[in-house]
A and B are shown apart, each in its own frame.
Chain A
Amino acid sequence: MNLVLAIFIPLIVAIVVPFLYKSFKHIHTGWFVLAVPLTLFLFYTSFIQRVANGETFSDTLHWVESLQLSFISYIDGLSLLFSLLITGIGTLVVLYSIFYLDRTKEQLHNFYVYLLMFMSAMLGVVQSDHVITLYLFWELTSISSFLLIAYWFHKDASRFGALKSMMITVFGGLLMLGGFVLLSIMGDTYSIRELIAQAPVLFEHDYFTWALILVLFGAFTKSAQGPFYIWLPDAMEAPTPVSAYLHSATMVKAGIYLVARFTPIFAASELWIWLVTATGLLTLVWCSFFALKQTDLKGILAFSTVSQLGLIMSLLGAGAMAYHVEGAAETVFKYAAFAAIFHLINHATFKGSLFMIVGIIDHETGTRDIKKLGGLMSLMPLSFTVAMIGSLSMAGVPFFNGFLSKEMFLTAMLSITEFGFFHFDTWGVLFPIIAWVASVFTFAYSLYFVAHTFLGKHQPDQLPKKAHEAPIGMLVSPIILAVLVVTIFFIPNIVATYFIKPAVIAIQPFLYSTTADIDVHISAWHGFNTELLMTLGIFVVGFVVFMTLTKWQHHYNKMPNGLNFLYDGMMTLSDQGMNRLSNMYMGKSNQTYLLYMLGSFVVLVLGTLFTQGGFAFSTTHTAPVRFYDIVIIAVLVVGTLITIFTKSRLTSIIGLGVVGYTVALFFVIFNAPDLALTQLVIETISVALFLLCFYHLPKNSRKENRMRFQVNRFIISLAVGATVTIVAIAAQSQKLMPSISEYYKETVYSLAGGGNIVNVILVDYRGFDTLFEIAVLGIAGIGIYGLIKLRLDAKGKEKKHAENK
């Protein structure tokens, strides 16, 4: 089967889902959908053995060949691991959703179409070898996630959460596109493999730092790192299968994938190591601290997800350090990327199961509020067991897989202090301390999560529903995941051979060439060392924090909720600010707009004229000034002044008439008889029309006022007049070529057989102008007729009797 086709299978199936929903009302649509991820999962498992042997697979589907745009599906250890997570957990989530969503009450076709769309998008992200199609699928995950979060679109909180996640992830996605474009310009290829191959060249390039920062923006927004984590807690309004699938196991790991995939390119940079490691650690400690504040079960898990992603991110940053060290220290940093992938798998298993358990609790008791819950252990024993396994794994307790990855995390963080580059030998001391503090809080909130839900006193009167164990179908998926959590603890090295080592090769190709070179062996017991002491410390202090929680939890409320406040403030500010801005310059009278236009006309024309040195004054080609000219000019000026300054509009119209006739006189003395004739006739008709218009002025505005003098109008008018004069003088003074009129003068009789050159130009040489000028007059006539005759009322129907005489 073509690998590219495999990516699109969910999308293709999504097309028929609505038909299945409409045709088979009595069967839950999820059963049909279940086949898709299951088939794909089995399909991808067939690659495991061969990829573990170091093989890679690639298929291409050409899209726009002239732009070198193709869908390239590339399977190596990293993309196979993600593909298996996506399809595997996808199968479990679909199975879970069949029991979670009610066939009769929910719009199932919408749900599964969005979910399948998301699955395709996610597979595309992790398998694309082409940066542009990677971006395409990246945005498709944003869109489908947006649709899934707002699945219950009648709820305000859902829409708010969906919008927020959309804004933040698309913001990051667009910046990431910028980074990709820079990368492809630098390397002259769109293929990620080819970019990696020329990583040392890219490092020397000027754009390198920009590309690095922009790509990181994409990764951090998607994986809810640093200040961008705020969308994830609000995305918890989605149905629980969505939260389990998108917001713990797959989509939020797209940023992790991106960082891992691009590590070979960017690891050479100090900035990359610092940004990835520090952002990851800060997110880890910050969100593990705030997870204890939450009273909503999904809220705890959302903050927990963010902090665990921070853990993986910081390990990837530490893994990039392996690029810079050789010899003994190298072995320590090999650990980091290995631990990152290991924890990625572990997190997907235990967090998926925890989300499903929360969904079950919500489903069976009607609430997710931790203050109302308690004492469910005896009522829901299976759920309790699964939740216990998940939580203890999350806390890093032995016999669960979280323990192993946490130990490796501590090892990696301790080794950072030994890293001699980039100021890590001084600042590095902070890293294990932060990591330890974060682990303490992780331990505390894991206990808080289980204890307040299942232990303590049962409060049946607080619960909307009578609590009881969930149907077995709903429990299957979380139980499978919980079994995995325990299994992985006992067989970590098998997991390492088949999944982790092939992925590590993709992340650190500069260290290893085959899987056999990776000599990391996971052991649950690794002797008495610093890590063990730290783990014991975590358990003790974490337990103390948990026991004293009620004493200090209320202090959380005194802390400012800065980042959400900032986001809301920014949204309001941009909304209101833009409104205020447009209100400031828009919505005014015509005069104001005219002022803007004339002002920019003056500035642009004069600015161009003088900056380009266009102004010149010359009287070489000018005609002499005669006595009559001066007289007519005087009349014209007087006529214009009357038009402006008269109180009466009637006089103003007469003034305009005077100007018009003077212009006709100008045409006479400047040897333009046809113009003079036309001007006289047309001025007469125009003045008549003006008078008609004046006669019909409404009575209430007949009051005659002198035009009020306003300084800004006067200045703009003066500037416009001056501009026209200056441009006219400049144009007159630098004529470059003689007129083409000589041709007309010479050929008017020989070619056209006429004597009046102007008329011959109008109807012969340039007859087209005249044709359309006739059309203009015709249209004006029809328009006027229509204006006067056609009277429509507000609804567009013709009025039988015109109200106006």
Chain B
Amino acid sequence: MEIVMAFVIGFLFMAATYLMLSRSLLRIIIGTGLLSHGVHLLVLTMGGLGGEAPPVLADGVEASQFADPLPQALILTAIVIAFGVTAFILVVAYRAYQSLETDNTTHMKGSDSDE
């Protein structure tokens, strides 16, 4: 399963990279969204996908059956941080639209007189 997931994650990275190389600001941010999904899945996969039960103490579940809790904690932190950053970037993009009247990054070039 991990090998299959490695290909899926690779595919997500490829799609994310492709979008981030676009000229449209919105597509670039969508690319970063895909990228963070890829990273979260990568962390989960590298922790091992063999668990049979969620990492919550319950009757009749042995410790060896739990899924690894550490990658999950790491991903939870990563999700929140990625969300904070994405929200901020989206608002920056929104402000950029308002001030610059464009969403094409090729038009977002400063000149020396803009100092």
Contact = CB atoms under 8 A, between A and B. Distances in A.
A622 B48 CA distance: 7
Given A689-B90, A757-B69, A644 B18 contact: yes
Interface stretch (A246-254, A297-305, A497-505, A697-705): A697-705
A263 B101 CA distance: 73
Nearest to B63: A745
A594 B93 CA distance: 19
Contacts of A244: none
B56 A755 contact: yes
Most chain A CB within a 10 A radius of its CB, from B79, B93, B105: B79
Contacts of A741: 68-70
B10 to A, nearest CB: 3
Contacts of B75: 672, 675
A619 interface: yes
Nearest to B54: A671
A692 B94 contact: yes
B51 to A, nearest CB: 5
Given A693-B90, A707-B22, A761-B69, A643 B15 contact: yes
B70 A744 contact: yes
A697 B27 contact: no
A716 B51 CA distance: 35
A758 interface: yes
Interface in A577-613: 589-591, 594-595, 598
B38 A724 contact: yes
A595 B51 CA distance: 39
B26 A694 contact: yes
A740 B48 CA distance: 13
Interface string B27-51: 1011001100110111011111111
A23 B3 CA distance: 85
A649 B91 contact: no
A149 B15 CA distance: 62
Interface in A648-693: 649, 652-653, 656, 659-660, 663, 666-667, 670-675, 678-679, 682, 685-686, 689-690, 692-693
A720 B14 contact: yes
Contacts of A783: 88, 91
A729 B3 contact: yes
A746 B64 CA distance: 10
Interface in A714-766: 714, 716-718, 720-725, 728-729, 731-732, 739-742, 744-746, 748-749, 755-758, 761-762, 766
Given A728-B46, A766-B73, A622 B34 contact: no
A772 to B, nearest CB: 9
Contacts of A788: 91, 95
A591 B26 contact: no
B37 to A, nearest CB: 5
Contacts, number: 273
A418 interface: no
Contacts of B92: 787
Given A701-B102, A757-B55, A758-B55, A732 B15 contact: no
A745 B68 CA distance: 9
A770 B76 CA distance: 10
A776 B81 CA distance: 7
Contacts of A780: 84-85, 87-88
Contacts of A769: 73, 77
B55 A671 contact: yes
Interface residues of B, number: 84
Given A656-B33, A724-B10, A788-B91, A649 B26 contact: yes
Contacts of A723: 10
Contacts of B90: 689-690, 692-693
Interface in A500-515: none
Nearest to A659: B37
Contacts of A746: 63
A756 to B, nearest CB: 5
| Residue of B4, B13, B52, B81 ringed by the most chain A CB atoms within 10 A | B13
Contact of A678 (B5, B53, B55, B76): B76
A700 B106 CA distance: 15
A710 to B, nearest CB: 8
Contacts of B101: 698, 700-701
A741 B63 CA distance: 10
A740 B70 contact: yes
A804 B95 CA distance: 10
A773 B77 contact: yes
B1 A722 contact: no
A533 interface: no
**Residue from B4, B76, B88 with most neighbouring chain A CB atoms (10 Å):** B76
A663 B16 CA distance: 15
Contacts of B70: 739-741, 744, 761
Nearest to B93: A693
B13 A660 contact: no
A237 B29 CA distance: 61
B83 A659 contact: no
B13 A724 contact: yes
Contacts of B21: 591, 594-595, 710, 713, 716-717
A64 to B, nearest CB: 43
Given A670-B67, A729-B3, A590 B56 contact: no
Contact of B56 (A693, A721, A724, A756): A756
A474 interface: no
A660 B18 CA distance: 18
B26 A623 contact: no
B69 A701 contact: no
Given A629-B4, A756-B55, A780-B87, A728 B10 contact: yes
B2 A698 contact: no
Contact of A633 (B4, B19, B86): B4
B3 A619 contact: yes
Interface string B87-112: 11011111101100111111001000
Contacts of A773: 77, 80-81
A324 to B, nearest CB: 64
A624 interface: yes
A723 B11 CA distance: 11
Contact of B10 (A641, A675, A722, A804): A722
B96 to A, nearest CB: 10
B51 A670 contact: yes
Contacts of A673: 54, 56
Given A644-B15, A784-B91, A685 B83 contact: yes
Q: Which 3 A-B pairs have the closest CB atoms?
A: A721-B14, A725-B10, A780-B84
6 contacts: A622-B49, A666-B44, A689-B91, A696-B94, A757-B56, A770-B77
Given A656-B30, A741-B69, A742-B63, 10 more contacts: A591-B21, A594-B20, A640-B34, A672-B54, A697-B103, A721-B10, A739-B70, A762-B73, A777-B83, A804-B98
